[in-house]
Amino acid sequence: MPRSDLTWYEIGEPLLIQTRPNARRQRYGVCTLLIPALGTHLFRNRVEAKGKSRPTERAGPPVSTSALVFSQSQTDAR
């Protein structure tokens, strides 16, 4: 049976990200609770994946393309 392992490291403080409906020309608003990770290791059958987490620009603490997302909900503008 195939085996996959994923490890997050350099864990940051939790972030609550909210946008209202119709903000940025999007019909839906979103509320997300995530914990940023500056890096990850992904193994499939003991072979490490070649991809890497990349830093992303954002106001506030450093974040990357990796995160643990615990909750996401969307709200409609109607």
Q: Using a pLDDT cut of 70, give the percent of the chain over it.
A: 96
Task: Provide the 3-class DSSP secondary structure of residue 23.
Answer: helix
Rounded Cα distance between 58 and 70, Å, is: 20
Residue ranges per structural domain of the chain? 4-67
pTM flag (> 0.85): no
Place of tokens 């503008």: 77
| Low-confidence residues in the chain, pLDDT < 70 | 24, 77-78
pLDDT of residue 74: 76
- Phi first, then psi, for residue 23 (nearest 5°) are -75, 140
